[in-house]
Structure 1
Amino acid sequence: MERKLLWVISCVVIFILWIKIDPQSSQPKETNKQESSVSKPAEKVQDDSVDNDSDTANEDTETPVTEEEKAYFKSHPISVETPNFAEISDIKTRKQTFFDFLTPFVNEKNTLLLQDRERIKQILANDNPPSREDKSWIGALRKIHRLNKVDVYEHKDIEILLKYIDIIPVSLVLAQAANESAWGTSRFATEGNNYFGQWCFRKGCGLVPNSRSEDADHEVRKFNDARESVFAYIDNLNSNPAYKELRAIRAELRHQDEPISGLALVHGLDKYSQRGQAYVDEIENLIDYNELWRFNVHADDQSTNNE
């Protein structure tokens, strides 16, 4: 009897120990699972994503729309409808539709920037002082790009604008748009035509992120259409102090007479997201994986740039 009782007690003890030990032994498997999801390639993360309603570190992005730009939008209406990217189940088709939709807007903005650059160069090449109209135009450009007001425009005050007024490669624009908007399927893209996560700080100026903390007051800007989002994003990269390094890289490429590429400028985007270098690596991966340099068509001579 005593022997049988000891056998029962031993079984109970072993059972209790097994319950306690098993969760601990399974913990490393759970950890490995979490690590594999974190290290998942950016390309796959973006393809599988349907909702990208998340905060970004891209603060102070409410670059104002100038009266000149408002007039341009009014006089150059767009007729293309925004595709429903979420309904396109084939990933290859969705990507190509996404690229085809946004690329014309990037080329349109870059064409206008090159025209402005040419006007600045003509003013610099003129031995006579800038006309009243040119002075007013230069003053407006300096204000937009957050440069100090000056009473008399010297050569250097005009020439510095060339560092700010320049193209953003289509490859970089498409990669960031795909990343920030989950290939056009995010709430910010579908409800606010915002493909780049641009913020604003006036109540009611945009959409409130679901993940916004209680003490935050930013919203995600709403645009009338995708073109306005593209224009504002490029204006932001060209004027925001956070992207000083991007503009320096671009200016050096100009100085060396090298193509302005997305793979070069991406290294000036470490402040675009709270993720820093990880974000830069992700955008670089998107450009490489999708061979987005094939969309770059803007240079001073309108020839194709290669990354």
Structure 2
Amino acid sequence: MERKILWIISFALIFVLWLKIDPSETQEPKTSGFSKSDTGVSDVASSKSTPEKKSTQKESKTTDALVSKNESESKGSATEAKSTGDEESAPSPKETAKQDDSPLPGSSEDEKNYFETHPIDPNKPDFAAISDVKTRKETFFDYLTPFVREKNNLLLEDRSRLKAYLDNINTLSSDDSAWINKQRKLHRLTPTDKLEKHHIETLLIKLDIIPASLVLAQAANESAWGTSRFALMGNNYFGQWCFRKGCGLVPNSRADDAAHEVRKFIDARQSVFAYIDNLNSNAAYKELRAIRADLRSRSLNISGKALAAGLIRYSQRGQAYVDEIEGLIQYNRLWRFNREIDGYVSTALNN
């Protein structure tokens, strides 16, 4: 009889404890291949200085999304010379211009002339109107990829020209020297009257390709897949800032004492060109260029996931932002948009 009573009491206690357990605490969070910013129109599609913006969902947590220690830490020949004045002090992470005579990335006379002589279709997809997630993503990638390849091909042409000059440093014409110094100024390096090999070698570190996988991942993140106000009204897919009044759109959340605007572009191609120029010239991304140069020196693939480690200063979120970009590359298999360019961009899995 006593054993039966004890059994009843035990059963009652177990039942009471079970009722107090919150089922929601045991549920695993649901993840999506499309971030919260994938729908609707957001004002600021970046996390540079807007603490109120919620970060997009991390799309992948696999260890494949991590850059190898050798790629992220090795400097090798990638170190940019300091003794020659070839690297400037670091500006704001997304700064695209200072209040001086420095040209805005993507706004040089050569590029302006190029845009005028190589017009593109001004129409762009209405990404917000595409309800199917997969279709919207593929449309977004297909729209921007040609501009990435176009810019990279131009960079490779310039690299070939520089390498030819490097082999004939003692026989440069005045026009050759002028072109090199113009490139140095555009990439925030000091022009010099007496060009030596190290001046060209340092420029080669800055004047190089950015893999499509990295460009597409950042564009998706920063523009909310092409639906942000800045992408719609300013063709700005990378959250790039400018500091001249009237150069862009004023963020709704900008502090009263701030002066930056989100730069306006003529079209998406100009935005892509300026973004790549920014990564290649801005001192904030010196580490990205060091990783890239080290990969070149060892004849390894220049992959978007490897270069993502150099974006630590692109956002105030730091490593969390880098992880998010790597996750976008991994989840969306963005390496498939890379091409074998100059033998250093791979279409292989996970690159």
Tell me the TM-score range normalised by the shorter chain: 0.7 to 0.9
Q: Which has the larger radius of gyration?
A: 1
Q: Give 1:106 deviation, angstroms.
A: 0.2
Q: Distance in 1 between matches of 2:297 and 2:344?
A: 18
Structure 1 match to 2:95 = 60
In structure 2, do the counterparts of structure 1 residues 283 and 55 end up closer, same or farther at CA, with 3 Å as the change threshold? closer
Match of 2:167 among 93, 105, 125: 125
Q: Distance in 2 between matches of 1:55 and 1:215?
A: 20
Letter in 2 for 1:280: V
Question: Does structure 2 retain, via aligned residues, the 8 Å contact 1:43–1:286?
Answer: no
In structure 2, do the counterparts of structure 1 residues 268 and 304 end up closer, same or farther at CA, with 3 Å as the change threshold? closer
- Deviation sequence 1:230-272 (CA, Å, 0-9, x none): 0000000000000000000000000010010001000000100
Secondary structure of residue in 2 paired with 1:160: helix
Structure 1 match to 2:149 = 107
Q: Distance in 2 between matches of 1:202 and 1:77?
A: 27
Q: Distance in 2 between matches of 1:214 and 1:303?
A: 44
- Deviation sequence 1:160-193 (CA, Å, 0-9, x none): 1110010000000000000000000000000000
Question: Does structure 1 retain, via aligned residues, the 8 Å contact 2:308–2:322?
Answer: yes
Would you say 1:170 and 2:212 are equivalent positions?
yes
Q: Give 1:159 deviation, angstroms.
A: 1.6
Matches within 5 A, 1:58-97: 58-62=93-97, 63-64=104-105, 65-79=107-121, 81-97=123-139
Larger helix percent? 1
Would you say 1:147 and 2:138 are equivalent positions?
no
Q: Distance in 1 between matches of 2:47 and 2:162?
A: 34
Would you say 1:229 and 2:229 are equivalent positions?
no
Q: Distance in 1 between matches of 2:345 and 2:306?
A: 18
Q: Distance in 1 between matches of 2:164 and 2:260?
A: 41
In structure 2, do the counterparts of structure 1 residues 213 and 149 end up closer, same or farther at CA, with 3 Å as the change threshold? same
Q: Distance in 2 between matches of 1:187 and 1:128?
A: 51
Match of 2:140 among 98, 102, 107: 98
Q: Distance in 2 between matches of 1:298 and 1:111?
A: 11
TM-score w.r.t. length of structure 2: 0.74
Secondary structure of residue in 2 paired with 1:266: helix
Query: RCO greater where, 1 or 2, for CA within 8 Å and sep 6 or more?
Result: 2
Question: Does structure 1 retain, via aligned residues, the 8 Å contact 2:312–2:319?
Answer: yes
Secondary structure of residue in 2 paired with 1:220: strand
Q: Distance in 1 between matches of 2:322 and 2:35?
A: 16
In structure 2, do the counterparts of structure 1 residues 303 and 263 end up closer, same or farther at CA, with 3 Å as the change threshold? closer
Would you say 1:299 and 2:341 are equivalent positions?
yes
In structure 2, do the counterparts of structure 1 residues 302 and 158 end up closer, same or farther at CA, with 3 Å as the change threshold? closer
Match of 1:209 among 251, 255, 260: 251
Letter in 2 for 1:60: E
Letter in 1 for 2:41: V
Secondary structure of residue in 2 paired with 1:287: helix
- Deviation sequence 1:119-143 (CA, Å, 0-9, x none): 0011111264211111011001111
Would you say 1:194 and 2:236 are equivalent positions?
yes
TM-score w.r.t. length of structure 1: 0.84
Q: Distance in 1 between matches of 2:23 and 2:182?
A: 60
Q: Give 1:104 deviation, angstroms.
A: 0.1
Letter in 1 for 2:181: G
Question: Does structure 1 retain, via aligned residues, the 8 Å contact 2:219–2:225?
Answer: yes
Letter in 1 for 2:96: T
Q: Distance in 2 between matches of 1:134 and 1:42?
A: 49
Letter in 2 for 1:122: A
Question: Does structure 1 retain, via aligned residues, the 8 Å contact 2:237–2:271?
Answer: yes
In structure 2, do the counterparts of structure 1 residues 94 and 136 end up closer, same or farther at CA, with 3 Å as the change threshold? same
Question: Does structure 1 retain, via aligned residues, the 8 Å contact 2:285–2:313?
Answer: yes
What are structure 1's unaligned runs of at least 5 residues?
1-27
Aligned length: 275
Q: Give 1:72 deviation, angstroms.
A: 0.4
In structure 2, do the counterparts of structure 1 residues 67 and 41 end up closer, same or farther at CA, with 3 Å as the change threshold? same
Structure 2 match to 1:12 = none
- Deviation sequence 1:63-113 (CA, Å, 0-9, x none): 341101100000000025210100000010000000000000000000000
Q: Distance in 2 between matches of 1:131 and 1:286?
A: 46
Letter in 1 for 2:121: S
